[in-house]
């Protein structure tokens, strides 16, 4: 009897196991399917916390609707009736001591028309004139493997990128735009430059693509994203799930692998799926070359602070759902979502719930990362007072420190993943990489990658 062991019960591992269990049923196979998860609960970076009428997500809070609606996991898991969408609203950038609207008719802060650029309150007249060079500057040297920050600055100038596009885009892709490739972020900017000669024109011509689905850009579930994890867990027939079971070692044993756990137990498996972060996978091996490649992948840190107040969220600027910080010396946070506005299901009473994000790209982060959760809460309250003028005492808070947990797809990322794959295929056939460290961080990417991983294995069975 063959055994597949999935290490890591985040959404990637769960999707992999779900697809394998479907295959097992369809093929009436006697294959043994095992999942080992280090912590007491499944879900990894998806974890919903409920407290005094507020719903908070310690990690991911939503799924990009455009991607999810093209897939069938919501229907398959019976979650259609549970789906909720974000409320429509406008986002601000906190700059020079005030909240300024991100101009309408822009995509990730990139103007989709000259009018949108002209109306921006974030950029000076000189900055706007400079950005117009997008219309007459040709792409001569850039490829999709170049830095998106350098690319955008080349065609738009520094000011538009630093004050309007950068804060939005680096928030979405968690990193410094200088270090991220065009290919791993927004390849459309390259395609539009090639096809239309101008990025602005490209977004203008393709506005239907970006506006599809209207304002319902993100989705979650009535019970929070944790409902997705629960649905997977309930649907994993014919599998064994071991929680509080941390993999510590992978040992080659004849034509199988013996995986040893922290509780002293072990599983012998023909296929092993590493749906764990790359820095959790590296210690499982003794192979030096492989270890070196794993360390070529990089993660950054993030701190999330939720605060619930006993005041109605109508105190916030009308029509707003949150802000991003442009100048890092003004506030310690990088962004603040007005969660109860954006997601009605997160606040039973309609009272104000906000979420602040602190990222390692911020100059204060080296101090913040050493702080206790209580001190972090006080810092967050200071940011709320300064940006929103709210001085009320919180009724609930949830501080989560994601230390070295957010994958950064550096320019070298694709090559490193390729080398890791080929070293594993050569020296550890049957051991598979999966998940957000390698193949895309969004939840739909992870779910899709789980299905691809399961297929690679079933093709070998």
37 binds ligand FAD (CB under 6 A): yes
Q: Three-class SS of residue 410?
A: strand
Beta bridge partners of 106: 111
Over the window 160 to 199, marking each residue x when it contacts ligand FAD by CB under 6 A and - when it does not, the resulting string is ----------------------------------------
- Helix 11-26 with 443-458: angle, nearest 10 deg: 40
Q: Is 272 in the site for ligand FAD (CB under 6 A)?
A: no
Least separation in angstroms between residue 406's CB and ligand FAD is: 6
Which residues have C-beta within 8 Å of that of residue 49, sequence separation ≥ 6?
Answer: 55, 56, 57, 58, 398
Cβ distance to ligand FAD smaller for residue 392 or 401: 401
Binding to ligand FAD, residues 68-127 (CB under 6 A): none
Neighbours of 134 (CB within 10 A): 24
Contact status: 302 vs ligand FAD (CB under 6 A): yes
Residue range at the interface with ligand FAD (CB under 6 A); choices 58-66, 76-84, 333-341, 421-429: 58-66
User: Which parts of 420-439 interact with ligand FAD (CB under 6 A)?
Assistant: 435-436
The residue within the footprint of ligand FAD, chosen from 31, 34, 63, 297 (CB under 6 A), is 63
Kindly state the smallest distance separating residue 288's Cβ from ligand FAD, in Å: 20
Would you state the structure tokens that stand for residue 268, as one six-digit string? 């012998």
Token code pair at residue 99: 């909240």
Q: 7 or 424: whose CB is closer to ligand FAD?
A: 7
CB-based burial, 274-297: b 16+ in 10 Å, e otherwise: bbbbbbbbbebbeeeebeebbeeb
Query: Which letter, b or e, does each residue of 404-426 get, where b requires 16 or more Cβ atoms within 10 Å of its Cβ?
Result: ebbbbbbbebeebbebbeebbee
Q: How far is the CB of 40 from ligand FAD (least distance, A)?
A: 9
Task: Pick the binder of ligand FAD from 7, 131, 297, 353 (CB under 6 A).
Answer: 7
Q: At residue 31, what are phi and psi to the nearest 5 degrees?
A: -55, 140
Q: Does 157 bind ligand FAD (CB under 6 A)?
A: no
Q: How far is the CB of 458 from ligand FAD (least distance, A)?
A: 20
Asked if residue 45 binds ligand FAD (CB under 6 A), the reply is: yes
Count of residues near ligand FAD by CB under 6 A:
36
Tally of CB atoms within 10 A around 314: 9
Distance CA 453, CA 14 (A): 11
402 binds ligand FAD (CB under 6 A): yes
Among 181, 275, 379, 387, binds ligand FAD (CB under 6 A): 275
Q: Is 25 exposed, middle or buried (0-12, 13-18, 19+ CB in 10 A)?
A: exposed
Residue 224 in the binding site for ligand FAD (CB under 6 A): no
Enter the tokens of residue 228: 């997705």
Q: Given the rule CB under 6 A, which residues bind ligand FAD?
A: 7-13, 36-39, 44-46, 59-63, 246-247, 275-277, 280, 302, 304, 402, 405-406, 435-436, 441-443, 446
């Amino acid at each position: 009897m063959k055994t597949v062991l999935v290490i890591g019960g985040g959404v990637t591992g769960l999707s992999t196991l779900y697809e394998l269990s479907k295959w097992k049923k369809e093929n009436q196979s006697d294959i043994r399917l095992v999942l080992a998860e280090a912590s007491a609960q499944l879900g990894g970076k998806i974890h919903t916390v409920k407290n005094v009428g507020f719903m908070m997500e310690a990690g991911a809070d939503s799924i990009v609707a455009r991607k999810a609606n093209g897939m069938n996991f919501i229907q398959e898991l019976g979650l259609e009736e549970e789906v909720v969408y974000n409320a429509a609203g406008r986002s601000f950038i906190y700059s020079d001591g005030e909240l300024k609207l991100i101009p309408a008719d822009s995509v990730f802060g990139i103007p989709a028309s000259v009018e949108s650029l002209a109306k921006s309150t974030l950029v000076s007249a000189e900055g706007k004139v400079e950005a117009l060079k997008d219309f007459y500057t040709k792409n001569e040297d850039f490829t999709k493997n170049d830095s998106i920050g350098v690319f955008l600055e080349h065609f738009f100038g520094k000011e538009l990128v630093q004050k309007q596009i950068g804060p939005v885009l680096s928030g979405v892709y968690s990193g410094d735009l200088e270090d991220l490739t065009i290919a791993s972020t927004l390849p459309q900017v390259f395609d539009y430059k090639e096809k239309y000669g101008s990025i602005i024109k490209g977004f203008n011509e393709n506005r239907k693509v970006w506006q599809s689905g209207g304002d319902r850009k993100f989705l979650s579930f009535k019970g929070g994203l944790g409902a997705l994890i629960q649905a997977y867990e309930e649907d994993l027939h014919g599998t064994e799930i071991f929680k509080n079971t941390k993999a510590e070692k992978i040992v080659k044993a004849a034509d199988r692998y013996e995986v040893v756990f922290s509780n002293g137990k072990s599983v012998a498996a023909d296929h092993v799926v590493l749906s764990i972060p790359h820095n959790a996978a590296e210690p499982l091996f003794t192979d030096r070359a492989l270890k070196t490649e794993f360390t070529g992948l990089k993660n950054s840190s993030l701190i999330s602070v939720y605060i619930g107040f006993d005041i109605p969220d109508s105190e916030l600027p009308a029509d707003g759902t949150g802000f991003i910080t442009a100048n890092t010396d003004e506030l310690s946070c990088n962004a603040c979502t007005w969660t109860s506005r954006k997601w009605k299901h997160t606040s039973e009473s309609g009272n104000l719930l906000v979420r602040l994000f602190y990222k390692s790209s911020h100059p204060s982060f080296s101090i913040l990362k050493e702080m206790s959760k209580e001190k972090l809460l006080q810092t967050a309250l200071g940011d709320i007072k300064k940006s929103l003028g709210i001085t009320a005492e919180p009724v609930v808070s949830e501080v989560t420190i994601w230390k070295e947990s957010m994958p950064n797809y550096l320019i070298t990322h694709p090559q490193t993943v390729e080398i890791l794959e080929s070293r594993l295929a050569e020296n550890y056939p049957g051991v598979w990489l999966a998940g957000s460290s390698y193949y895309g961080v969004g939840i739909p990417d992870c779910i899709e990658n789980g299905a691809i991983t399961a297929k690679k294995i079933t093709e070998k069975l």
